[in-house]
Homo-oligomer: A and B are copies of this chain.
Amino acid sequence: MASSATLPTLHFSPKPSTDSSIGRSETCNLFLRFRNHDLVSRRSFSVSFDSLGLNRSGTPVLKFDRIRSKISASSAQVMEQSPRKTDSRVPTIVDVDLGDRSYPIYIGSGLLEEHDLLQRHVHGKRVLVVTNTTVAPLYLDKVINALTSGNPNVSVESVILPDGEKYKDMDTLMKVFDKAIESRLDRRCTFVALGGGVIGDMCGFAAAAFLRGVNFIQIPTTVMAQVDSSVGGKTGINHRLGKNLIGAFYQPQCVLIDTETLNTLPERELASGLAEVVKYGLIRDPEFFDWQEKNMQALLARDPSALAYAIKRSCENKAEVVSLDEKEGGLRATLNLGHTFGHAIETGFGYGQWLHGEAVAAGTVMAVDMSHRLGWIDDSIVKRVYNILQLAKLPTTPPEIMTTEMFKSYMAVDKKVADGLLRLILLKGPLGNCVFTGEYDRNALDETLRAFCKS
C-alpha cells in the first residue's frame, strides 16, 4: 500500500522545510491517492528525504525512496476492500520509533528472496540462526542462502530447538548459549530468530544476555509472531509458575516479515494469530475491527492481500504503542487485553496444550465479560467480540480443567500485579477504548470467573 510505486499524487501538510530536510525524517500529514483505486486517505507519515529538486513551477520537491507509515488512529480511513496486488517484492515498511534503537518492520511477499534487505542488518561476519524442528526443514536453507548469497564472508551457524511453548524454558535456552559459545561467536555477531513467537522470544532473550548483548533480527513465520510478538522487544522465557516471567526488553535490528511463510502455517496457528489482530481493534482501532468483521473469511482463506493488510495494520498499531511506552509504564500494558486470563490458562492447562492465541481468545471473552459486568461497555460489544472470535474458530471459554482458584493463583504472579494489586486491561466506553487499571469491583472479577468455570 505504501510503496512509492503506488503513490502518484502527494500533498504534504505542513510542507517540509525543503533543503534542511534532506537526510532527515519528518512527520507530515500526507494526502495520498492511489493509482489503482479511488481511496483518498489522510495519514500521518514519517518521510525520509534523500534529495531536493525543483518541479516545473519552481516548487521545491523532496525525493524519497520509501515512505515509513504511522497510523493516526483518530483520522485513519480504513479500506473497505483490500488493495489490489502491486509489486509484492517492494516491502511495506513500518517503523518502530525508539530513538537510537529504532528499527524497520519489512512486510511483503517473497522478502526472503530480497537478500540485501536481510544482509544490510547483519553485524559482523558470524550469524547464529535460532529456529525449531518444524520451521527448519521449511525455511532454514532459504534463510542461510539469503544471508550468504553474494556475501561469502559471512558464516552461519544454526541451532534447532524442539517446537512448542513447553520448551520455552531455561534448559532449552541454554542450548542457544551452548551453541553460540561452542561456535566461538563474539560480540560482533548477529542472532536471527526464524520461527514463531516462542523462537522469537527465546532468541531475543539469548541475544540480550549473550556476552551482555549482541545484535539480532526477527524473521517471524507465524501470524502470531508477525502481528505481535516479533515487534517491540519483549523477550523471555516461561517459569513453571508463570509465563514470560524471566526476560528482557531488547529490540531487534529489524523485523522481516515474508508473508509467503504463512502458506505452510497450520490452520490452528493461523487462527491463533488472529486473536491478537482482533485485540488491536478492540483496544484502539475500531475501524480495523470493522474491517476484520468484514474480512475474517478472507483472512482464514489466506487471501494474501487481506493477510498483508491485517499484518501491516497490526504492526502499525503495535509500533505506535511501543514507541510511546517501550518499557510498559502504562499504555503498552493495554496490548495485554485478555492475556492475564490467557496466561493463567496456558500455565494452568500446561504450556502448549493450547496455543497462545487460543488462550488469549478465551481470555479476551472473559475480560470483555468482566468489562460488561462493571457496566463499562454495551452488550453489543460483548456480542461482536464473541462473534468475531467464533468466526475465527477460536475458543470463547477456558478449558474445563480451569477452576476459579487456578485462575486466581496464576493471575497473582502476573507481571501487571503492583504492590499486590492485580491490574487488568478492560474495555470501557465505545469500541476501541480500554483502560489498564487496578480500580475495579472485585465482585465483577469473581462473577466472571464463576461464570466461566465449573468450580
Q: Contact: B181 with A419, CB < 8 Å?
A: no
CA distance A417 to B214 in the complex (A): 13
**Contact assessment for A209 and B248 in the assembled complex, using a CB-CB cutoff below 8 Å:** yes
A420 within 8 A of B: yes
Given contacts A125-B419, A177-B239, A239-B181, contact A245 B186 (CB under 8 A): no
Shortest C-beta distance, A399 to chain B (Å), equals 23
Copies of this protein chain in the complex: 2
* Nearest Cβ on chain B to A178's Cβ, whole angstroms: 8
Residue in contact with A413 in the complex, picked from B125, B184, B242, B327, CB distance below 8 Å? B184
Q: Which residues of B contact A205 (CB under 8 A)?
A: 209
Contacts of A177 in B (CB 8 A): 239, 245-246
A181 touches B245 (CB 8 A): yes
Q: Is the CB of A170 within 8 A of B181?
A: no
Mark A184-214 against chain B: 1 for CB-CB distance below 8 A, else 0. 1011100000000000000001001111110
Q: Does A79 contact B (CB under 8 A)?
A: no
Q: How far is the CB of A284 from chain B (nearest CB, A)?
A: 22
User: Closest CB-CB distance, A332 to chain B, in whole Å?
Assistant: 11
Closest to A186 in B: B417
Inter-chain contact A412/B248, CB cutoff 8 Å: no
In the assembled complex, A54 has its CB within 8 A of some CB on chain B = no
- A110 contacts the other chain (CB 8 A): no
**A187 and B239 contacting across the interface, CB-CB below 8 Å:** no
- On chain A, the number of residues with a Cβ less than 8 Å from chain B's Cβ atoms is 38
Question: A182 at the A/B interface (Cβ < 8 Å)?
Answer: yes
Task: Flag whether A83 is at the interface (Cβ < 8 A).
Answer: no
The verdict on A418 contacting B186 (CB below 8 Å), with A212-B249, A245-B211, A249-B212 known, is yes
A280 to chain B, nearest CB (A): 22
CB distance A186 to B419 under 8 Å?
yes
Tell me if A236 is interfacial: C-beta within 8 Å of chain B. yes
Asked if A15 CB lies within 8 Å of chain B CBs, one says: no
In the complex, what residues of B have CB within 8 A of residue A184's CB?
A: 412-413, 417, 420
Look across to chain B and name the residue whose beta carbon is closest to the beta carbon of A208: B248
Is A234 interfacial (CB-CB < 8 Å)? yes
Question: Are B124 and A248 in touch, CB under 8 angstroms?
Answer: no
Asked if A419 meets B188 with Cβ closer than 8 Å, knowing A208-B248, A209-B209, A248-B213, the reply is yes
Q: Which residues of the other chain, B, contact A420 by a CB distance below 8 angstroms? A: 125, 184, 186
Q: In the docked arrangement, what's the CA distance between A250 and B375, Å?
A: 43
A247: Cβ under 8 A from any B Cβ: yes
Cβ of A294 within 8 Å of any chain B Cβ, yes or no, is no
Residue A174 at the chain B interface, CB threshold 8 Å:
yes
A213 contacts across to B, CB distance below 8 A: 248-249, 327
Taking the complex as formed, is A138 at the interface, i.e. its CB lies under 8 A from any CB of chain B?
no
Bitwise, A243-265 to B at CB < 8 A (1) or not (0) is 00111110000000000000000
Question: Are A186 and B415 neighbours in the complex by a CB distance under 8 Å?
Answer: yes
Q: Are A212 and B188 in contact (CB under 8 A)?
A: no
Instruction: Give the docked Cα–Cα distance between A211 and B243 (Å).
Output: 10
Q: Which residues of chain A from 151 to 180 have a CB within 8 Å of any chain B CB?
A: 170, 174, 177-178
A40 interface residue (CB < 8 Å to B): no
Q: Does A241 reach chain B (CB closer than 8 Å)?
A: yes
26 A-B pairs with CB atoms under 8 Å apart are A125-B420, A126-B419, A170-B174, A177-B239, A177-B245, A177-B246, A178-B239, A181-B242, A182-B241, A184-B417, A186-B415, A186-B417, A186-B418, A187-B415, A188-B418, A188-B419, A208-B248, A210-B245, A211-B245, A211-B415, A212-B234, A212-B236, A212-B248, A212-B415, A213-B249, A248-B248
Not counting A178-B239, A186-B420, A210-B245, a sample of 18 additional A-B residue pairs whose C-beta atoms are within 8 angstroms of each other reads: A125-B419, A126-B419, A170-B174, A177-B239, A181-B242, A181-B245, A182-B241, A184-B420, A186-B415, A186-B419, A187-B417, A188-B418, A188-B419, A209-B236, A212-B234, A212-B249, A213-B248, A213-B249
Q: Which residue numbers of A lie inside 8 Å of B, CB to CB?
A: 124-126, 170, 174, 177-178, 181-182, 184, 186-188, 205, 208-213, 234, 236, 239, 241-242, 245-249, 327, 412-413, 415, 417-420
In order of increasing CB-CB distance, the 4 nearest A-B pairs are A186-B417, A181-B241, A211-B415, A212-B247
